[in-house]
Structure formats: C-alpha cells, structure tokens
Structure 1
Amino acid sequence: MSSLPPLLWLQAFEASARTLSFTAAGRELGVTQAAISQRIRLLEDRLGQKLFVRHPRSLSLTPAGQAWLPSILDGFARIGEGTQEVFGSAAERTVTLRATPVMQQNWLAPRLIAFHRAHPALAVRLVSAIWPDDFGPEGADIELRYGLGNWSGVEGVCLGDESLLPVCSPSLASTLHEPADLADHTLLHAAGFAVGWPTWLELAGVAGLDERGPALTCDNQVMTLALASQGGGVALTHRRLFASRDDLVAPFTLSVPSAERFWMVRPARRQSREESSLLWDWLVDGLSEDA
C-alpha cells in the first residue's frame, strides 16, 4: 500500500483527466485550480512521468496518462460499488440530475412536478451546468446536454430535432413586420451555440444586420429569454424552449434548423440504480407522448 500515491492526488488526476481542465476539477472537488495543479505536479514527480500536456487554454493526456486512466476509473468505481454494497443508505435513493438552467426552467420543471406526484418518496437533486466543461459522466445519474451527441462514456436519447427562431415580448412583436425591422432593436445573443443570429439573418435575407445594430450577449438562455420577455430585445431561442412560454411570441415563422440537439444521457460504464432508471424511463416515455 505504501507504493500508492495519496488519495487526494489520485482524485485530482481522475477529475482532471475526465474534464481535461484543472479549473473544472477544482470546482468539482471543492478546491482551487492552483491546488489541483500542485497535486498533479506532486503526482507526476512521484511517478516520474508527465500525465498531462499543458496547452495555453486546455489539457490533454500524455500516452502514460491515457494508459493509466482506465485503472484509476475502475478503482474508484469498485470502491464506490463496494461501499454501496456494504454501507448502502437511504441517501442513495437520491437521483442527481444535471442540466442547464434554461432546460430546468422551460422543459424539465413540469415533468419533474408530474414525476414527484407519482413517486413522492424518490428524491431528485438538480445540479446546474452552463458550459460543456460543467458536464461529465461522473457525479450525476442523468444529464441533459446540448450538442451533436458524440460524447464518449455515455448512452444517450435525443429529445428530437431542433430549430431556432426569434422571440420577444408581444408589444415589441407588434413593431416587427419583416426581418429588416430587427435593425431597430437589440439582438440578444446566447454564447456557446453553433447556430446563432448570423445564420438566421442570412436565411432571412438580411445577412450582416447583427453587425449594424445594438446587441447584448449573455452566457445562458435564461437571461436572454428574461430580457426578451421584458421588452429588452429579441432573442434567438430553441423552438422546444419557446413552446412552454406564455410571455413570449414569435414575430416571424422562419426558423433555422440546428445539427445540435438536446440529449438525455447517463454513464454507460456502470449499471444504473433502480431509482435512476425509474426517472430515466419516465422521461423517455414522456418523449413519445410529446411526439
């Protein structure tokens, strides 16, 4: 046992290798990025080999790190399974679900209310995530992600085809008769999406209009939709999210399709607990009803 590095160092490596970010690993483990970086350096000194290649804004695993990671993941998984087998508790009935705030508010909330009424004894813990680095197959039983669906280590169910369209308050919509009228209003941008205002405006025949008028950029759609609902501008949002709002209207019927979609995913390398499977199946069954 004396040959094993300290557990804190192993945790730092596992979290950093999974997220490819010292910052994300520190956030997950409740320490600073500097603390994670120091633990990794100590671990690399102990092993006599580099585990990560440090790039200006990212990390990648060295061949040695890639070769070692499966053993570390398996070790933590076996410890977790053994702990559950011997010391299982009522707390394990809690299902952790990670999603972006806008999905929690506009898509998930009504479904969770119905689920809780049907299964009041099962506790659900919601965890918010905004950026891709906030997600990961560990730490959550189920996740609602947005992207192309090509993530490793998870199995996923697509929530359906997705398209984006402009939305705003009813009073502002009354002033919009054609796409060119958007030049007189603030365009609300949500960062991090492959399809944005430039794509929609080009499809509408007014390419470049976004470069000439006022704009506001937010890091999440919760804020862009809040601003739009209060007359603060016009937001481009997913049709799936707009469908549940009664404070927004679509001034134009034109929507632009997106290759990115919303997905429900769960870790593929471990068997789901009964409680997690219950919520998963409930949400999946609801997709067929939506269709």
Structure 2
Amino acid sequence: MSRLPPLLWLQAFETAARTLSFTAAGQELGVTQAAISQRVRLLEDRLGQKLFVRHPRSLNLTPAGQAWLPCLQDAFTRLAEGTDEVFGGGEAPVTLRTTPVVQQNWLAPRLCAFRRAHPEVALRLVSAIWPDDFGPEGADLEIRYGQGTWSGMEAVSLGRETMLPVCAPALAERITEPADLAEHTLLHAVGFEVGWPAWLEAVGVPTLASRCAPLICDTQTMTLSLAALGEGVALTHRRLVESRDDLVAALDLPVDSDEAFWLVRPARAPARPEAVMLWDWLTGQLDPESG
C-alpha cells in the first residue's frame, strides 16, 4: 500500500489547517463540514497521529500538524507550478495544425507578425505529416492541402497553386530544358509523389521519370532540404519557396495544380475569440487576386 494518503484527505487537512475551521474548509472545497471532518479523521487514522486539537467552537493544530503543514503546502505549490509549466496556465493556447513544410516556409513569418501585433494571444503549433493526422479534434485552426471539400469544416483558399521544380542555384545552372532532369535525382515526397508524373506530362516528357534516379522522403521539408544541398531536384508549390534564397526554379515551367492549401476550422463549433483573431489575421494576409 502506498504511504501517500488520498489527495482529498490532504486537501481537507490543508484547507482546515489554513482556516482553522472545518466549516470554512467545507465551503472552500464545496463539501459539507461533516465531509471535511470525516476526511481529516481518516487521514489521522492513516498517519497514526492527531493533527488537530478539537475544542467545542474552535480548532488548533497539534505539534505534528504544525510541523507537517508547511511541507504539504509546499508540495501543493510545486504541483501547481509544474502543471502550469507543462500545460500552461489560464486559457488554453490557440492551436493551429499543419504540415512542417507549410509551418516553416509560409506560416512562420506570418505568425511572427501576428505575435508582434497580438502578444497577449498564446499559440500552439502542431505538425501533421499524413492526411489522417488532420481532424477537428484538438485544433482550433488547420491549414490543409486538397480541394476544400471537408465535411463539417469552413475552408478559405490560400490561393491558386502552381507546381515548380526547384534546386540549389549551382545545380540550376546545368538545367536548361526538361530533358536535362534525366541526369539528376528527382526528390519525391510520400503522398505527393503523384506530382512529378503530372508535372512531367504537362511539360511534354511523361516518361522521363523512369530515367531519373529517385530519392523518396516522408516529408516535403526533407525534399526541400536535400534540394537546397544540391542532392537533386524537388517538386513543390511556388508559395512554399518564394521567400527562400537557397532554392531557385530549376526550370521556369510552373504547372497549375487542381488542389490548394486551405485555412480550415470547424463550421459548427463556436470559435474562441483568440482563435477568431488568428483566423481573421491569416485571411487578411491573403492576396485577394490569388484565389
């Protein structure tokens, strides 16, 4: 059996010892005076010592109770501080979920500006790698990739998307036409690998992929990192590299995508004011002519 008594007993003692009243302790904890008295008696039985000297109209702590109270209060304080440190105090932060590549290449600079404008709003970012990682549970807002047709969700397009092959500047100097890609590694992201066949077909070389060395990664973040290091050519969306200087277009042949990035939130659940503030900020950053 654990030597630590039940938390309810400890709360009853700490509150009664602080107020020197079972009645006041019951009012603070939302229980009856009799419940406090019973919990304290059970605690005393467990410890084998009396904690209070009971008088007809008052209470006093015994020497054992006086000695133990500071230790117990310190433990409650440390527990509260630890809870705040891990889970945060006050209102829960606004949670925004999206893929790592969107976080790093599109969202980060916009969130920096939002935090400067609204430092009072606590934010929490959550990464989603696979389509199944998305869903309304646990997130106030999401940025998803698709056609914007998710049941029960309100979606605002971040704009029309084009797919573009990108690589390190030094490598781009050796690529002047699509056929030149046969001499280089094509970097595929799982879940987006259909992009390369679609792009190659659109630019007139549908069978070229079979002549290229493939390197498959589980995230677009990794394909872009490898491309920046000169390890191959990645296919991505123009908006995800428009602010980077370590990647350039291998060929200026953008191909329209029938899918796009969408800012998404549950349609039926009432949004918290802080979440509405972030939603309005992000939608306000969109180019009205890009949709």
TM-score by length of 2: 0.67
The AA in structure 1 aligned to 2:213 is: P
Q: Is the 8 A contact 2:233 2:250 kept in 1?
A: no
By how many angstroms is 1:251 displaced?
A: 2.3
Matches within 5 A, 1:165-184: 165-184=164-183
Q: Report the number of matched residues.
A: 203
The AA in structure 1 aligned to 2:163 is: L
**Greater than 4 Å deviation, 4+ residue runs:** none
- 2:264 is paired with a residue of what secondary structure? strand
> Which runs of no fewer than 5 residues in structure 1 stay unpaired?
1-88
Superimposed CA distance per residue, residues 243-291 of structure 1 (whole angstroms, 9 cap, x where no aligned partner) = 1211101021111111110000001121100000000000011114785
Matches within 5 A, 1:33-44: none
By how many angstroms is 1:115 displaced?
A: 0.5
| CA–CA separation in structure 2 for the residues paired with 1:195 and 1:213 | 15
Q: Is the 8 A contact 1:100 1:130 kept in 2?
A: yes
2:141 matches 1:135 = no
- 1:166 is paired with a residue of what secondary structure? strand
Q: Is the 8 A contact 1:162 1:261 kept in 2?
A: yes
2:154 matches 1:148 = no
* Fraction of identical pairs, as percent: 65
Aligned to 1:8: none
Matches within 5 A, 1:1-291: 91-193=90-192, 195-288=194-287, 291=290
Q: Is the 8 A contact 1:195 1:258 kept in 2?
A: no
| CA–CA separation in structure 2 for the residues paired with 1:238 and 1:143 | 18
Relative to structure 1, the CA distance from residue 246 to residue 198 in structure 2 (aligned partners, 3 Å threshold; closer, same or farther) is same
| CA–CA separation in structure 2 for the residues paired with 1:194 and 1:101 | 17
The AA in structure 2 aligned to 1:162 is: E
RMSD: 1.6
Superimposed CA distance per residue, residues 89-138 of structure 1 (whole angstroms, 9 cap, x where no aligned partner) = 95325100001000000000000000001111111000000111000011
TM-score by length of 1: 0.67
| CA–CA separation in structure 2 for the residues paired with 1:124 and 1:161 | 27
- 1:210 is paired with a residue of what secondary structure? helix
The AA in structure 1 aligned to 2:226 is: L
Relative to structure 1, the CA distance from residue 111 to residue 262 in structure 2 (aligned partners, 3 Å threshold; closer, same or farther) is same
By how many angstroms is 1:199 displaced?
A: 1.3
Q: Is the 8 A contact 1:138 1:267 kept in 2?
A: no
| CA–CA separation in structure 1 for the residues paired with 2:179 and 2:99 | 32
By how many angstroms is 1:193 displaced?
A: 2.8
The AA in structure 2 aligned to 1:251 is: A
Superimposed CA distance per residue, residues 154-192 of structure 1 (whole angstroms, 9 cap, x where no aligned partner) = 101000111101000011001111110100000001121
Relative to structure 1, the CA distance from residue 207 to residue 172 in structure 2 (aligned partners, 3 Å threshold; closer, same or farther) is same
> Which runs of no fewer than 5 residues in structure 2 stay unpaired?
1-87
Q: Is the 8 A contact 2:99 2:129 kept in 1?
A: yes
| CA–CA separation in structure 1 for the residues paired with 2:289 and 2:271 | 25
Aligned to 2:42: none
The AA in structure 2 aligned to 1:92 is: E
| CA–CA separation in structure 1 for the residues paired with 2:180 and 2:164 | 15
The AA in structure 1 aligned to 2:143 is: L
Relative to structure 1, the CA distance from residue 156 to residue 145 in structure 2 (aligned partners, 3 Å threshold; closer, same or farther) is same
- 1:235 is paired with a residue of what secondary structure? strand
| CA–CA separation in structure 1 for the residues paired with 2:104 and 2:151 | 27
